[in-house]
Structure 1
Amino acid sequence: MPFLSDPQPRIIIAGAGIGGLSTALALHAAGFSDIHVFEASATLTTLGVGINVQPSAVLILRNLGLLDALKEVGVQTQELNFYSRHGNPILSEPRGKHAGYQVPQFSVHRGEFQMLLLDEVKARIGADRVHLDHAFASYEQDASSITARFIRRGAPEGELPAISSMTGAVLIAADGINSTVRRLLYPNEGPPRFSGRMLWRGCVESAPYLTGASMVWAGHANQKFIAYPISGRSARRGASLVNWIAELRVRDENDPDVTPPPTDWTKRVPKERFAGPFSKWECGGLQITELIESTENVFEFPMCDRDPVDRWTFGRLTLLGDAAHAMYPIGSNGATQAIIDAETLAARLADIATTWQQPGVVETALTAYQDTRLPPTSAIVMANRANGPDHVLQLAHERAPDGFANVYDVIPKDELESIGAAYKAIAGFEKDAVNKKALDTDHLAKRFDVEVAA
């Protein structure tokens, strides 16, 4: 959109993860250009594991001109299959375009996706607007501006870390589950809340299984195995780069201690720590022991979230993504919700593009963003704690712990299907709503010469 006011508001984003970078792109598409992204890491690489991006977020990325790039790096998910720990089929759901959505669902390597977004931010906003090695430290604001201060840890040996600052109209905190900004706003909150379950994750290239674009979910709440392919490049070579997750409860569910154990997700861990309980598992054509044994590097992650809070916006400052609503990785929804945050925030700031210098206008826009996004994301956090769509696994395990021949003897069809439908409604990716929005926003995709029906 054209701006009638000059100068433009300067928008500062703390965090160059999926949420922060998506926000920068959404703001740019809305007409903003004075955008600066600060990131604590000195370098950004393709480290990471697999994630899923639901159609509701893929639609936003389509409208930002990124659909072709996603097709290049990711896999268009065809189906999600649930199995018992014995390999008994529970439920198979088509996903994305295979389920009738106008846009796909993508399974993609988080690091590659982040680099895709970073490259686009540099190309559209300017490489000089991305500031690495800038760890957020503090802020101060008054009625007309907000100043963010950052520490540069990469100072030469023997020198104190350098401190730099920038003053702008808006500060967006997209600095993750361990957000420094959130810690300043909620100093008594403490560390993330540990679920008592640990995740061990790895990636390995193997022969395709099922459709070659299938997700597999097996087990129950306290022991689960998940696998899905994440590389379009591997698929085009006839192979499958499989992202897998082994999950086990390591702390009693009645233990009042929810402090996460000390872990380093960049450090490789021995497979003996978790592989034993999965030694006889097979599901969806996957030999789980073989998959684990053939993986070179395995990493450990405590499964954590944070309690919802009742406020994200404080004057000219607001939270976004995991800093606002860190959730369990259930329902394949974390990155999706950050991207929806980005679109919503950009829209609310675009509403005030010509009046942002008036007293109270920025604060009102940020509060409107908060009031739109805080209730649904809080509901998702709590739904994920109750296992979200994975609840079908727990039901099958509780009702037939020794396995079954026909799932409908265990869970009636209507009950089974209602679990997924209820979660889609909570998470905001009901098919009819997404498809209506896809048609209504075709013109946005066409700004980037996107084939809207692709």
Structure 2
Amino acid sequence: MTPHSGKNSLRILIAGAGIGGLTTALSLHAAGLDNVVLIEACPRLRAVGAGLNLQPAAVRELTELGLGEELAAQAVATARLEYHHRHGGLIWAEPRGRRAGYRWPQYSVHRARLQRILLREVTRRLGPDALITGRRLTGYEQHRAGGRRSVRAYVAGDPAPYTCDLLIGADGINSVVRAVMYPREGPPIWNGICMWRGLSHAPPFLDGRTMVIVGCNSRVKAVVYPVSPPDESGRCTLNWVVETRSAAGRSTVPPADWDCAVGPGNVLPHLAGWRIPFLDLHATIAAAPRVLRYPMIDRDPLPAWVAGRAVLLGDAAHPLYPTGSNGASQAIVDARVLAHQLAHHDVDEALTRYDRLRRPETARLLTAHRRLEPDPLLHQVEMLAPDGFSDIRDVLPDHKLADIRACTRKVTGVDAAGLNARSSWSVPGRTVSACAWSTPSG
């Protein structure tokens, strides 16, 4: 690594080039910290994954990083969230994004498209040598020499460690950085729910900008939303997820294989008897070229995200159930807060402030996600009206329906007024420069 004067002499290594790691690199660069390198275990970053949602809090941060226009061109601005009974009846609806009063939209987007945007900008702004692929972090140790604190990061296949002033663990739910910090933690925790998900080229439904959550019994639920506008054929890309709860509970944990493909025939029997007038869910699932199956897992909150000069971010710090469509969004917010603190404080103070700001907030979100809010209220509908209904107010009173809004706010974590009023985390007066690292050294 080549040292530089001032803040730019801070040598930063990011483990993981997912949404969190790439956004962290861009955020550090925007904050005047260019001496940054990412290492990624995959030899070649592929266009993988399915759809994800970006809450307005995350869209604000990406917009302030200069990515707003391209993001708008690649995503669907989600305008509405609706809960439906498995026989089609509308239980609850609420506006999302700008229609809910936010200054920024909520977006639904294919994960691969978002990753391509971030990857291209990392290469353009930090240089082609900022990302090193095919390099898997195996461990690290704290180091002190000549009064300077640092980290030695060990990478498979490299004979000498990378020496950095700060190691950022953005390496996912099976984080190596986290495992070194908490060696006795054990594997992720499964809640007994399996998720089946896919992408289908299918007709849009409703207004083409609505996310629907269907089915309110305790065993099966489906989530469907578009991640692209209609093409010349009038069809769009629909992201769908079907959640099924195992009758065996948590006794047999399926492998957390994010690339476990199955056929649509494994999913469709769970939806027998469902009928949704505005969406042919069975045909949508049958049209998916690939269906992935994996368990709904997370980890318990940690007492600290910082150990010496190593810090956790994103799923490495706070893996969340997808209940609030908030995992990628919180990683993006983490990245911006960490970069902002590093730009304004010395490293140790910055890490302390980052931990103090972000850890309690994500712990609250994790608790709400584990309750699967507002699923318990929706289960009441199934018990009271298993065969459906004409008007939900014949099933639940208005005050119970209003509780659903409170539940959705708990899992998204930010209200419009608070986000709109908050000052920016951007660092003014930033000038762009390029900095390069040397080859790994001790």
CA distance in 1, matches of 2:408, 2:204: 29
Provide Cα deviations, 1:283-336, integer angstroms capped at 9, x if missing partner: 361111111111121111111111111111001111110011111110111111
Farther-moved stretch of structure 1 (100-109 vs 392-401) = 392-401
Indicate the residue corresponding to 1:150 in structure 2: 155
Task: Find out whether 1:89 has 2:94 as its counterpart.
Answer: no
CA distance in 1, matches of 2:222, 2:429: 40
Provide Cα deviations, 1:411-433, integer angstroms capped at 9, x if missing partner: 33233223333542564320111
Indicate the residue corresponding to 2:132 in structure 1: 131
Indicate the residue corresponding to 2:324 in structure 1: 331
CA distance in 2, matches of 1:199, 1:208: 22
The alpha carbon displacement at 1:402 in A equals 3.0
Indicate the residue corresponding to 1:363 in structure 2: 348
Q: From the superposition, tell whether residues 185 and 236 of structure 1 become closer, same or farther in structure 2 (CA, over 3 Å).
A: farther
Q: From the superposition, tell whether residues 343 and 6 of structure 1 become closer, same or farther in structure 2 (CA, over 3 Å).
A: closer
Q: From the superposition, tell whether residues 445 and 333 of structure 1 become closer, same or farther in structure 2 (CA, over 3 Å).
A: farther
Partner of 2:161, secondary structure, is strand
The alpha carbon displacement at 1:181 in A equals 1.5
CA distance in 2, matches of 1:84, 1:431: 28
CA distance in 1, matches of 2:159, 2:92: 54
CA distance in 2, matches of 1:207, 1:68: 26
Q: How does 1:4-403 map to 2 (within 5 A)?
A: 5=6, 8-143=9-144, 144-151=149-156, 161-220=157-216, 221-232=218-229, 234=230, 238-253=234-249, 255=250, 257=251, 260-262=253-255, 264-283=257-276, 285-352=278-345, 356=346, 362-403=347-388
TM-score (norm 1): 0.87
Partner of 1:272, secondary structure, is helix
* Equivalent pair of 1:203/1:241 in contact (CA under 8 Å): yes
Structure 1 residue identity aligned to 2:333: I
The alpha carbon displacement at 1:148 in A equals 1.0
Q: From the superposition, tell whether residues 4 and 40 of structure 1 become closer, same or farther in structure 2 (CA, over 3 Å).
A: closer
The alpha carbon displacement at 1:163 in A equals 4.3
Structure 2 residue identity aligned to 1:314: A
CA distance in 1, matches of 2:368, 2:374: 9
Q: How does 1:403-442 map to 2 (within 5 A)?
A: 403-424=388-409, 427-437=412-422, 440-441=423-424
The alpha carbon displacement at 1:443 in A equals 8.2
Partner of 1:59, secondary structure, is helix
* Equivalent pair of 2:91/2:392 in contact (CA under 8 Å): yes
CA distance in 1, matches of 2:232, 2:122: 27
* Equivalent pair of 2:32/2:430 in contact (CA under 8 Å): no
Structure 1 residue identity aligned to 2:298: D
CA distance in 1, matches of 2:378, 2:277: 15
TM-score (norm 2): 0.90
Q: From the superposition, tell whether residues 312 and 444 of structure 1 become closer, same or farther in structure 2 (CA, over 3 Å).
A: closer
CA distance in 1, matches of 2:257, 2:106: 30
Farther-moved stretch of structure 1 (217-226 vs 44-53) = 217-226
* Equivalent pair of 1:376/1:426 in contact (CA under 8 Å): no
Structure 2 residue identity aligned to 1:214: T
Q: From the superposition, tell whether residues 163 and 269 of structure 1 become closer, same or farther in structure 2 (CA, over 3 Å).
A: farther
* Equivalent pair of 1:331/1:389 in contact (CA under 8 Å): no
Structure 2 residue identity aligned to 1:290: A
Aligned length: 423
- What percentage of aligned pairs have identical amino acids? 41
Provide Cα deviations, 1:75-125, integer angstroms capped at 9, x if missing partner: 111111101122111111111112221111000011111111111111111
* Equivalent pair of 2:343/2:427 in contact (CA under 8 Å): no
The alpha carbon displacement at 1:263 in A equals 5.1
The alpha carbon displacement at 1:381 in A equals 1.0
Q: From the superposition, tell whether residues 425 and 200 of structure 1 become closer, same or farther in structure 2 (CA, over 3 Å).
A: closer
CA RMSD of aligned residues (A): 2.3
* Equivalent pair of 1:266/1:299 in contact (CA under 8 Å): yes
Q: From the superposition, tell whether residues 223 and 21 of structure 1 become closer, same or farther in structure 2 (CA, over 3 Å).
A: same
CA distance in 2, matches of 1:325, 1:442: 21
Indicate the residue corresponding to 2:435 in structure 1: none
Q: From the superposition, tell whether residues 265 and 428 of structure 1 become closer, same or farther in structure 2 (CA, over 3 Å).
A: closer
Q: From the superposition, tell whether residues 6 and 293 of structure 1 become closer, same or farther in structure 2 (CA, over 3 Å).
A: closer
CA distance in 2, matches of 1:393, 1:104: 26
The alpha carbon displacement at 1:251 in A equals 4.3
CA distance in 2, matches of 1:367, 1:400: 51
Q: From the superposition, tell whether residues 163 and 18 of structure 1 become closer, same or farther in structure 2 (CA, over 3 Å).
A: farther
Unaligned runs of 5+ in 2: 432-442
The alpha carbon displacement at 1:191 in A equals 1.2
* Equivalent pair of 1:195/1:303 in contact (CA under 8 Å): yes
Partner of 2:214, secondary structure, is strand
Partner of 1:388, secondary structure, is coil
